[in-house]
Structure 1
Amino acid sequence: MIPTLPNIFPRIHADAEPTPPAAGVGASRVVETVKSVVRVQEPEIKRWRRTFDANAKTVVDGERYLDRDQFVNAIAPSGDLTRIGRAQFAILFRVADGAKRGRVSWDDFTVFQTLLKRPDADYYMAFQYFDVDGSGTITFDEFKNVFTANVGPHAIPFDFDCDWVKLYLGKKNGTHVLGYNEFTQLMKGLQGERLRQAFKYLDDNQDGFIRPDQFKRIILEIAGHKLSDAVIERLPTLTTLTPGGRISYSEVIAFHNVVREMDMVERVLRESTAKSKDGRIDQTDFLNHASSSARYSLFTPMEASIIFHFAGRGVGGQRLALIDFAQLLDPRWRAPGETEETPMAAAVGTTMASVLSDVAHSAYNFVQGGFAGAFGATIVYPIDLGEMQNQRSTVVGQLLYKNSMDCVRKVFHNEGFLGFYRGLGPQLIGVAPEKAIKLTVNDLVRGRAMDPETGRISLMWELIAGGTAGGCQVVFTNPLEIVKIRLQIQGEAAKAEGAVAKGAAHIVRQLGLVGLYKGATACLLRDIPFSAIYFPAYAHLKKDLFQEGYHGKRLSFMETLTAAAIAGMPAAYLTTPADVVKTRLQVEARKGQTHYKGLTDAFTKIYREEGFRALFKGGPARVLRSSPQFGFTLVAYEYLHKYPWKDQPREVETALTSGPEEISKTRARNALKILLDVHGDFGRRASSS
Structure 2
Amino acid sequence: MDIVPKDEKKLYFASFVGGGVAGLVVDMVLFPLDTIKTRLQAQQGFQRAGGFKGIYKGIGPQAIGSAPQAALFFLTYETVKYYSESLVPNYAAPGVHMFGAALAEVTACLIRVPMEVVKQRRQTQSNNKSSLKIALSAYKHEGIVKGLYRGFGSTIMREIPFSIIQFPVLEGLKKNYRIYFKNNIPLESWEVAICGSIAGGFSAAVTTPLDVAKTRIMLADRKQIKTGDMTVRRILAQVYATEGFKGLFAGFVPRVMWITLGGCIFFGSYDFAKGTCLQLIDGEEVF
Output the TM-score relative to the length of structure 2.
0.82
Query: Which residue of structure 2 lines up, in the alignment, with residue 518 of structure 1?
Result: 150
Query: Which residue of structure 1 lines up, in the alignment, with residue 205 of structure 2?
Result: 573
Query: Which residue of structure 2 lines up, in the alignment, with residue 364 of structure 1?
Result: 14
Distance of 2:42 and 2:72 partners within structure 1: 31
Query: Which residue of structure 2 lines up, in the alignment, with residue 401 of structure 1?
Result: 47
How many residue pairs were aligned?
265
SS in 2 for 1:645: helix
SS in 2 for 1:543: helix
% of aligned pairs identical? 27
Pick one of 609, 612, 619 that aligns with 2:252.
619
Task: Say whether residues 1:606 and 2:239 are aligned partners.
Answer: yes
Report the AA paired with residue 43 of structure 2: R
8 Å CA contact 1:470–1:527 kept in 2: the answer is yes
Task: Please report how far the alpha carbon of residue 529 of structure 1 lies from its aligned counterpart in structure 2 after TM superposition.
Answer: 1.0
Report the AA paired with residue 274 of structure 2: H
Pick one of 623, 628, 633 that aligns with 2:261.
628
8 Å CA contact 1:466–1:533 kept in 2: the answer is no
Report the AA paired with residue 260 of structure 2: S
- Give CA-to-partner distance per residue, 1:160-203, whole Å, 9 cap, x none: xxxxxxxxxxxxxxxxxxxxxxxxxxxxxxxxxxxxxxxxxxxx
Query: Which residue of structure 2 lines up, in the alignment, with residue 476 of structure 1?
Result: 111
Pick one of 487, 500, 508 that aligns with 2:122.
487
Question: CA distance change for structure 1 residues 591 and 446 in 2, over 3 Å: closer, same or farther?
Answer: closer
Task: Say whether residues 1:458 and 2:93 are aligned partners.
Answer: yes
Pick one of 30, 35, 42 that aligns with 1:385.
35
- Give CA-to-partner distance per residue, 1:5-24, whole Å, 9 cap, x none: xxxxxxxxxxxxxxxxxxxx
Query: Which residue of structure 1 lines up, in the alignment, with residue 175 of structure 2?
Result: 543
Task: Please report how far the alpha carbon of residue 642 of structure 1 lies from its aligned counterpart in structure 2 after TM superposition.
Answer: 1.4
8 Å CA contact 1:423–1:484 kept in 2: the answer is yes
Query: Which residue of structure 2 lines up, in the alignment, with residue 441 of structure 1?
Result: 76
Report the AA paired with residue 564 of structure 1: G
User: Relative contact order (alpha carbons < 8 A, sep ≥ 6): 1 or 2 greater?
Assistant: 2
SS in 2 for 1:458: helix
Distance of 1:453 and 1:625 partners within structure 2: 34
Question: CA distance change for structure 1 residues 400 and 526 in 2, over 3 Å: closer, same or farther?
Answer: closer
- Give CA-to-partner distance per residue, 1:648-674, whole Å, 9 cap, x none: xxxxxxxxxxxxxxxxxxxxxxxxxxx
Task: Please report how far the alpha carbon of residue 585 of structure 1 lies from its aligned counterpart in structure 2 after TM superposition.
Answer: 0.9
Superposition RMSD on alpha carbons, in Å? 2.9
Task: Please report how far the alpha carbon of residue 589 of structure 1 lies from its aligned counterpart in structure 2 after TM superposition.
Answer: 3.8
Structure 2 unaligned residues grouped into runs of 5+:
1-5, 280-287
Question: CA distance change for structure 1 residues 448 and 591 in 2, over 3 Å: closer, same or farther?
Answer: closer
Distance of 2:220 and 2:240 partners within structure 1: 20
Distance of 1:583 and 1:613 partners within structure 2: 16
Report the AA paired with residue 170 of structure 2: Y
Which protein is richer in helix relative to its size?
2
Task: Please report how far the alpha carbon of residue 573 of structure 1 lies from its aligned counterpart in structure 2 after TM superposition.
Answer: 1.5
Distance of 1:473 and 1:539 partners within structure 2: 20
8 Å CA contact 2:40–2:46 kept in 1: the answer is no
Question: CA distance change for structure 1 residues 541 and 571 in 2, over 3 Å: closer, same or farther?
Answer: same
Report the AA paired with residue 47 of structure 2: Y
Q: What are the residue-to-residue correspondences of 1:155-166 with 2, within 5 Å?
A: none
Task: Please report how far the alpha carbon of residue 456 of structure 1 lies from its aligned counterpart in structure 2 after TM superposition.
Answer: 7.9
- Give CA-to-partner distance per residue, 1:619-661, whole Å, 9 cap, x none: 2211111121122111111011114539xxxxxxxxxxxxxxx
Q: What are the residue-to-residue correspondences of 1:403-418 with 2, within 5 Å?
A: 407-408=51-52, 411=53
Distance of 1:402 and 1:566 partners within structure 2: 33
8 Å CA contact 1:534–1:567 kept in 2: the answer is yes
Query: Which residue of structure 1 lines up, in the alignment, with residue 283 of structure 2?
Result: none
Report the AA paired with residue 509 of structure 1: L
Question: CA distance change for structure 1 residues 448 and 456 in 2, over 3 Å: closer, same or farther?
Answer: farther
Task: Please report how far the alpha carbon of residue 430 of structure 1 lies from its aligned counterpart in structure 2 after TM superposition.
Answer: 0.6
Task: Please report how far the alpha carbon of residue 462 of structure 1 lies from its aligned counterpart in structure 2 after TM superposition.
Answer: 1.9
Q: What are the residue-to-residue correspondences of 1:643-654 with 2, within 5 Å?
A: 643-645=276-278
Distance of 1:580 and 1:610 partners within structure 2: 12
Distance of 1:529 and 1:485 partners within structure 2: 21
Report the AA paired with residue 641 of structure 1: K
- Give CA-to-partner distance per residue, 1:213-262, whole Å, 9 cap, x none: xxxxxxxxxxxxxxxxxxxxxxxxxxxxxxxxxxxxxxxxxxxxxxxxxx
Query: Which residue of structure 2 lines up, in the alignment, with residue 26 of structure 1?
Result: none
Question: CA distance change for structure 1 residues 360 and 546 in 2, over 3 Å: closer, same or farther?
Answer: closer
Task: Say whether residues 1:423 and 2:58 are aligned partners.
Answer: yes
Query: Which residue of structure 1 lines up, in the alignment, with residue 131 of structure 2?
Result: 504
Query: Which residue of structure 2 lines up, in the alignment, with residue 312 of structure 1?
Result: none
Distance of 1:596 and 1:613 partners within structure 2: 25
8 Å CA contact 1:541–1:563 kept in 2: the answer is yes
Report the AA paired with residue 152 of structure 2: A
The structure with the largest alpha-carbon Rg is 1
Question: CA distance change for structure 1 residues 607 and 552 in 2, over 3 Å: closer, same or farther?
Answer: closer
SS in 2 for 1:555: coil
Question: CA distance change for structure 1 residues 463 and 400 in 2, over 3 Å: closer, same or farther?
Answer: closer
Task: Please report how far the alpha carbon of residue 382 of structure 1 lies from its aligned counterpart in structure 2 after TM superposition.
Answer: 0.8
8 Å CA contact 1:451–1:457 kept in 2: the answer is no
Question: CA distance change for structure 1 residues 548 and 631 in 2, over 3 Å: closer, same or farther?
Answer: farther
SS in 1 for 2:33: helix
Report the AA paired with residue 443 of structure 1: E
Q: What are the residue-to-residue correspondences of 1:60-99 with 2, within 5 Å?
A: none
Query: Which residue of structure 1 lines up, in the alignment, with residue 273 of structure 2?
Result: 640
Task: Please report how far the alpha carbon of residue 424 of structure 1 lies from its aligned counterpart in structure 2 after TM superposition.
Answer: 1.3
Q: What are the residue-to-residue correspondences of 1:84-123 with 2, within 5 Å?
A: none
8 Å CA contact 2:36–2:254 kept in 1: the answer is yes
Task: Please report how far the alpha carbon of residue 479 of structure 1 lies from its aligned counterpart in structure 2 after TM superposition.
Answer: 0.8
- Give CA-to-partner distance per residue, 1:342-364, whole Å, 9 cap, x none: xxxxxxxxxxxx9xx52453133
Question: CA distance change for structure 1 residues 359 and 610 in 2, over 3 Å: closer, same or farther?
Answer: same
